[in-house]
Amino acid sequence: MTPQPRASLPLGSYVLPGGTTDPGHAIGQAHAAERINLTTLWISERLGCRDLGVVAGALGQATTSVNIGSAITPFHIRHPTVLASLAGTMQTLTKGRFLLGLGRGGPWLAGLGVTPSTPAQAVIDIAAILRRLWAGDTVTYHGPAGHYPRLHLAGSPQTAPVPLLMAALGPRSLALAGQHFDGVILPAFLTPQAVAQTIATVRNAASVTGRDPMTVRVYATVITIADPTPRDRDVIAGRAVSYLQPPPHGERIARLNGWDTAPLARIRAHPLLAGLGQTLADETYRPHELAGPGRLLPDNWLTASTATGSPTACARQLAEYLDAGADELILHGTPPDHLEPVITAYHHTSARSPLPAVHTRPPR
């Protein structure tokens, strides 16, 4: 007999993983997520067919219990009042189920005519501006985050404040998240040991500022594919290339994982990538199209930093990430409507031998 699902699984999943031209698929994936008892549905915003506000609004009305989070949207592409309005509206519509995950940007933003990155003080100030707007304040601000004579929302969210999360990897960004945000989103292709290192940085930074370190939730992204085919393995390798290609991001991942950085130079020299300059690989290619440079990566890199294999093997690998201290995992690479074998194995594994203790409280 299959064990009954626990009240709150420390597992979430992206909807619409990879490229899509039909965001309507997210609705069926959301229904599946609630059926298998996932905690959070995550939206990786791409301008085109994955607009955060539209997809999140649809998911909010198609579900009743699962949280809905952005992982991520850049600070830069919306005016602070527009961003605050989007998140506040979602939080009210879903009765407190929305999480706003923000990122500091990258070179691709230069093509939009906005600053490609956000200075640390601007990040701190934007978070403060959003919280003040949600509290009903009128905000006058002139500083590194911009010049705003009078910011105000017509109505504040009629529920708990929106949890603010920050995508981070480098030590300064991790410390920033620990000091000023409600949670941190870690990228894919970190090993459990690397996740433990990043969590220590976040928790220590929170403690230094007098915060309770356990109030800062850590969301670790884990590529999860059960019974992968040879093509799936190529896609995993292609995804790894998209994470490892941009410097210094690739070097940070490799060093945290204890890997030699030499393979990074080899993949960047591959004919598909050599001419991209500052362009990110996943802006030009789909993951399966990056299989060629992906084959230059050591096999153990992929097995050590993902949850792949049989459903039971995936469940055991996910448990390692939770044991490393993550509060919740963001399963990536497999949509919720195909995750049931892994979730079932997770329950069976939990019934046979206790899985690590995890923090399953709802987000603040």
Domain residue extents for the chain: 11-108+117-227+310-352
φ, ψ of residue 96 in degrees (nearest 5): 95, 20
At 218 the three-state DSSP class reads strand
Give the mean model confidence (pLDDT) for residues 221-241.
97
Angstrom distance (rounded) from CA 332 to CA 15: 9
pLDDT at 107: 64
Q: What pTM value is reported for the model?
A: 0.93
pLDDT band at 156 (very low <50, low <70, confident <90, very high): confident
E strands, the chain, in order: 11-14, 40-43, 67-70, 73-74, 98-103, 139-143, 146-151, 164-167, 183-186, 217-226, 307-309, 328-332
Selected from 1.10.3720.10, 3.40.50.12160, 3.20.20.30, 3.30.300.30, the CATH number assigned to the domain covering 11-108+117-227+310-352 reads: 3.20.20.30
CA atoms within 13 A on the CB side of 64: 1
pLDDT at 21: 80
Q: Is the pLDDT of residue 280 over 60?
A: yes
Q: What is the mean pLDDT of the chain?
A: 91
